[in-house]
């Protein structure tokens, strides 16, 4: 809520009062959501518009719209065949679950040339055959 209004004051009686801050530099926040096997995250979120609803004895709710700087997605999927370390492709049970070009895949204890477990960067996806074309990620 602070990210929508900008100012929070706690009184000696443990009462919290929010008020609008006359500034264009409202704080940002991170948002996480887990759906089934997948976890979505957004960082650097800002509130452009917010609406608070309080109806009788109901729990107050807030609806907001805004922007974010970065998003990420994590989840799991089964391999349908063994992957040789450094391989350029892998077959998964369902490529439509959460894979995107540019995403990364980590496979157990598969280490790259410098001994790091940085996984693979997805270069292409065949959603019909469930094949991910990837390259080993090597950070130095």
| Tens of pLDDT, residues 33-91 | 888 777 888 888 888 888 888 888 889 888 888 888 888 877 777 888 887 766 678 88
Q: What does pTM read for this prediction? A: 0.53
Asked if the structure places residue 83 within a domain, the reply is no
Whether pLDDT at 138 is above 50? no
Q: Residue 89's closest CA among 118, 129, 116? A: 129
- Measured CA to CA in angstroms, residue 23 lies from 110, 121, 122 at distances of 49, 41, 42
Residues 33 and 70 in one domain: yes
Model confidence pLDDT, tens digit, residues 98-111: 677 877 777 766 55
The percentage of the chain sitting over the pLDDT mark of 90, rounded to a whole number, equals 0
Residue 14 structural domain: 2-74
CB-CB contact of 134 with 88 (8 Å): yes
DSSP 79: B
Residues 100 and 70 in one domain: no
Across the range 5-23, mean pLDDT stands at 77
């Amino acid at each position: 809520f602070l990210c929508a209004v900008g100012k929070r004051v706690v009184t000696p009686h443990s009462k919290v009062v929010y008020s609008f801050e006359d500034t264009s530099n409202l704080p940002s926040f991170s948002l996480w959501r887990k759906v089934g096997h997948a976890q979505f995250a957004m960082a650097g979120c800002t509130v452009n518009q917010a609406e608070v609803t309080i109806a009788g004895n109901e729990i107050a709710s807030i609806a907001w719209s805004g922007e974010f700087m970065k998003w990420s997605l994590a989840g799991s999927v089964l391999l349908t065949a063994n992957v040789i370390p450094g391989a350029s492709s892998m077959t998964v049970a369902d490529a439509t679950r959460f894979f995107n070009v540019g995403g990364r895949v980590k496979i157990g204890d598969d280490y790259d040339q410098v001994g790091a477990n940085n996984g693979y960067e997805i270069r292409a996806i065949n959603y019909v055959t469930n094949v991910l074309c990837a390259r080993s990620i090597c950070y130095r």
